Amino acid sequence: MNILVVHDRSEVITEIRKVLSGSDLCLSRIDAAPDYVTARDQLQAYVYDVMILDLTLPHIHGKGAPSHGVVENFLAELFSPTTMNVPGDLIGITRDVGALADISASIGPHLMAIIREDDADGWKTLLLERLTYVEASRQARLRSIYSHFDADVAILVALDKELEPFHEIFELEPIAAGAETYAFTFNDRLDHVRRGVACAIGRPGTASAAASTQSIITLHRPRVALMSGFCGGVEGKANLGDLVFFEQVFDWDAGKWKTDDAKDPHFFPRPEPISIRGSQAHAVARRMRTEGLANAPSRLHRAKELSPKFEGSGEILLEAAGSGSSVVSDVDIRSQISALNETIAAVDMESYGFYHACQHTLVKRPEMLCVKAVADFCDMNKQNKVHAACCYLAAQVTSDIILHKWTF
């Protein structure tokens, strides 16, 4: 717990520090400020769980008499749009008995408690009781927040162009706190209004996908997290333009490089696959694989308009994928990846990080599902000529899930 003590008398600050250091509170930081100006600077620089506030302060220590008018102005500024970080709780402390009535009417609504400071030690006991309550309440709030969902859906993509089709499906409103993160609402299959967030990570790769996914999940706590975009395919197991639900994901570049005397280094893979089998997401993917691509003729026509080189049929597959940190454009490497498991039909750079972050989160764990369209065969012909079509089809299937298939 981080605590800021704002008081113009150093002896009181010393006593409060003694009370805190001798307590069982879990304390990370205790700072002090003798006046309004210093307190404002502290609140601009740090985030505090509690501020213990003297209700009669000078504007600048040593210049001018302390008054509760200064505190009124301080709190008015604190609770208006400002650069200061508002503490989680405020506890007032004062010796000015005559001003208590005025303080209760003007400043009191901002405070969780007002403690009368006197020459006895009762106020210290009362202060410690209030702080103990604040810590217990804070922990209870965090447990409650972390054990409940907030948003209904989170959609993540690696690149901006993979998010572009979603702008035509939903009204995406930028979230001020997140780069390339958007909020949107939609009606589910029962016509209930739901809330979602969508995020373009901005770069490919397992690490960036894991970091962004964990951030989105922690901040927004979605019921279901979906990843959309394009991927490479394993020739013979998937065709160009096929839509692959990732049933399992293998981290194909996890392993060990070993060498013997006079021999070249050799890579020994040690993948730890992540599976969605047995989940609601898996049941939805199975059902959609059986039903096939909804509105296929019109959607394939639109895909062809977006990418004239596109020739796919939009078949839906439920297969394993290999995911790693490198772009694969070599058939020998692709063969090594597909050799890890005969069901591997797709190769990408984000899904393992995405699945891993969804599965290993401190907040309530969301359902997870990755759907990507095959744009190439991970060979020397790897190009971006059909990326627009693949992004569009993956976005259409992803939106079908949350609009028509998912039971929230």
Res. 110 pLDDT band, cuts 50 70 90: confident
Pick from 80, 23, 25: nearest CA to 50: 25
Q: Does 222 lie in the same domain as 167? A: yes
CB count within 10 Å of CB 278 equals 8
Q: Which residues of 7-31 are buried (b: 16+ CB within 10 A; e: fewer)?
A: bbeeebbebbeebbeeeebeeeebb
Q: Which of 115, 146, 177 is the last residue of a domain?
A: 146
For residue range 327-357, list pLDDT tens digits in order: 999 999 999 999 999 999 999 999 999 999 9
Measure Cα distances from 9 to 127, 143, 290, 337 in Å: 17, 37, 74, 69
Domain boundary among 129, 146, 163: 146
CA-to-CA separations, 299 to 55, 169, 213, in angstroms, rounded: 66, 13, 29
Q: Does the pLDDT of residue 172 top 70, yes or no? A: yes
The CATH number linked to 91 is: 3.40.50.2300
Burial level of 249, CB count in 10 A (0-12/13-18/19+)?
Answer: buried
Q: Could you tell me what percent of the chain has a pLDDT over 90? A: 74
Instruction: Tell me the per-residue pLDDT of 185-216, one tens digit each, with 9 for 90 and over.
Output: 999 999 999 999 999 999 999 999 999 999 99
Given a cut of 70, is residue 103 above it in pLDDT? Answer: no
Output the six-digit token pair for 176.
């001020």
Contacts 24+ apart (CB under 8 A), 97-103: 99/55, 99/56, 99/68, 102/68, 103/55, 103/68
Q: How many independent structural domains does the chain possess?
A: 2
**Rounded CA gap, 302 and 30, in Å?**
61
User: What confidence score (pLDDT) does residue 100 get?
Assistant: 62
Find the angle CA(323)-CA(158)-CA(320) to the nearest 5 degrees: 30
Residue-wise pLDDT for 375-393, tens only, equals: 999 998 878 899 999 999 9
Question: Region 97-121: what's the mean pLDDT?
Answer: 74
Q: Are residues 209 and 352 in the same domain?
A: yes
Residues 192, 260 share a domain: yes
Helix (H, G, I), strand (E, B), or coil: what is residue 385? coil
Q: Are residues 353 and 257 in the same domain?
A: yes
Give the pLDDT score at 398: 98
How much is the pTM?
Answer: 0.76
Query: Are residue 133 and residue 235 in the same domain, yes or no?
Result: no
On whether both 127 and 257 belong to a single domain, the answer is: no
| Residues 192, 133 within the same domain | no
User: In terms of domains, do 135 and 238 share one?
Assistant: no
Say how far apart CA 89 and CA 287 lie, in whole Å. Answer: 50
- The Cα–Cα gap between 185 and 326 comes to 35
Q: Give the pLDDT mean for 391-404.
A: 98
Q: Are 226 and 350 in contact (CB under 8 A)?
A: no
Single residue among 146, 163, 191 that ends a domain in this structure: 146
Q: Is the pLDDT of residue 97 over 80?
A: no
Q: Are 138 and 208 members of one domain?
A: no
Residues 132, 61 within the same domain: yes
Question: What is the residue range of 215's domain?
Answer: 153-405
Quickly state the pLDDT bin for 264 (edges 50, 70, 90).
Answer: confident
- The answer on 142 and 44 residing in a single domain is yes
The Cα–Cα gap between 83 and 171 comes to 30
- Domain CATH code at residue 367: 3.40.50.1580
**Same structural domain for residues 161 and 257?**
yes
Secondary structure (3-state) at 374: strand
